[in-house]
Structure formats: C-alpha cells, structure tokens
Amino acid sequence: MGKEKVHINIVVIGHVDSGKSTTTGHLIYKLGGIDKRVIERFEKEAAEMNKRSFKYAWVLDKLKAERERGITIDIALWKFETTKYYCTVIDAPGHRDFIKNMITGTSQADCAVLIIDSTTGGFEAGISKDGQTREHALLAFTLGVKQMICCCNKMDATTPKYSKARYDEIVKEVSSYLKKVGYNPDKIPFVPISGFEGDNMIERSTNLDWYKGPTLLEALDLIQEPKRPTDKPLRLPLQDVYKIGGIGTVPVGRVETGVLKPGMVVTFDLLA
C-alpha cells in the first residue's frame, strides 16, 4: 500500500475578472474533482445563455449556489489530487470571502495561487494602486500565507497571443511588488496559462514553448510540505456550519493541531 498523500489547503486570489473561477473550475474538473455528468449539465445551461466563455466559472458558481441553498452535493467538490498532494480549495474566489475567511484565521492556506489577468488593461487594473492583485497579495502575506504561485492568465488573449514580452513585463512588475510585500519572488513560480483553453495547467502547451518552467499542476507539487502539529491536543476552529438535507448540521473548519478521525467523539467549547 502506497504512502498516503499529504493534505494541503490552497486559496485562489486575484483581481476581479482575472479568471479565478474559470481557472479553478477547469483545474478541479481536469483532475477529477467534478463529475463529468454534472459539468455537462451546467455547460449546456451556460451555452443556452450564450456564456460559452464562462463555462468553467459557470460550473463552479452554480455548484456553490447549490451548496449555499442546502442541497445535498458531493462534499469532495472542492478537492482534487496532484501527484504529491491531496488539495482542498478552501476559499471560493471573491474579495469579501477572502477577507472574511482569512482574517478570522479559521482557514489559513498553505499556499496562495494568485491569478493575474495578462490582457491589455486587465493587468494594469489589477496592479494599480487600488487593484485587488496588490490587495490580495498583501493580505495573503500579512495573514501568514508564505508560499505563493503566480499564474499569468489569459495568455491566449494577449497581443500578440501567447506573448513572451507581455509575460516578462508582468513578471518584472509583479515580482517588484511582491518583494516589497515580503515575499521572495525568486521562490515564486510564474506560470503562463490560459484558464479557459487549458494551456500549461495540466500539460505543457506548445503555444508557450518559450516557457521552460513548471505547469500549474507541477507548481502545486513544488509546494513545501506543511508541518502539522499532530502530537498536540485537537484544535479545530470553526469556519462555518452547514445544514445539509439528509445529514444534518455539519460544522466546517481546519484541524490546526492534533488528529481527527472518523468515529471520534469531540466536544465544542463556546468561547465568550
């Protein structure tokens, strides 16, 4: 029997419309985290509304809405596996959710994936003084997420398409900002991708043959394994509580210390 994979938590961050939902949805689907029949059903609905370019984001958002309405769905929805890790996307893309979940410290990630819009105007908006590329990167570092992967997204929509010059420009400017925040940009992979077309997400893309670094999937496997204090008493700060039909009330959170196993009896302490 092979060694059990280590579990890591990933948060997807970035400026509005940078392609967070599309990239996340596509990645989870490609790695088997979403049933094909489910995605086909939502793809059809997206096509009927002339939103083909939103098909992966549409799937992600529709499933999120189902969960919030209390409909029973596969609780493995936000999970996928790499060669090395068992990954959970702990935070649905979105500025408000990121702040709420991260500042409370209940779902601190092991690694942040920063999605950057590489298109003309898109990148500039995100990296501007009030842009969320800056804000999210600063929040991630401030709140203890010391590992990061940067994805230069929408490379299929640069001018010209899959432009190395545009990629180099973005890497230079974002690296400069990340260094000011506190990150070491030399240790951060900058992966040129297309979250919609799938370039460099799982497999190396011939459209980006000038790029010699890791794909997004390979970059996830390069994350340093987090140290878990399993020898200490169980502590699980609650992030949320779901009411799921047919199951009941389900508390949700991350095990910070100790071990939690099926069948264990646990006690919740209410702090004043």
Number of domains in the chain: 2
Tell me, yes or no, whether 75 and 188 share the same domain: yes
Q: What is the mean pLDDT of residues 85-104?
A: 59
Most confident among 11-20, 35-44, 149-158, 228-237 (mean pLDDT): 149-158
Q: How confident is the model at residue 121, as a pLDDT?
A: 95
Is 63 a residue whose pLDDT tops 80? no
The parent domain of residue 77 ranges over: 6-221
Q: Mean pLDDT over residues 64-83, rounded?
A: 60
> Does residue 131 sit in the same domain as residue 26?
yes
Residues 53 and 148 in one domain: yes
What mean pLDDT comes out for the span 164-178?
A: 98
Q: Return d(Cα 180, Cα 51) in angstroms, integer.
A: 39
> Is residue 152, in this structure, part of any structural domain at all?
yes
72: pLDDT confidence band, cut at 50, 70 and 90?
A: very low
**Within-domain flag for 142:** yes
Higher pLDDT, 194 or 230: 194
Question: Would you say residue 231 has pLDDT above 70?
Answer: yes
Looking at the structure, do residues 173 and 47 belong to the same domain, yes or no?
Answer: yes
207 and 235, same domain (yes or no): no
Asked if residue 41 is part of any domain, the answer here is: yes
What CATH number corresponds to the domain at position 33?
A: 3.40.50.300
Q: Lowest mean pLDDT: which of 70-74, 138-142, 151-155, 193-197?
A: 70-74
To which H or E segment does residue 52 belong?
none
173 versus 232: the higher-pLDDT residue is 173
**Across 117-126, average pLDDT:** 95
Query: At 124, is the pLDDT very low, low, confident or very high (cuts 50, 70, 90)?
Result: very high
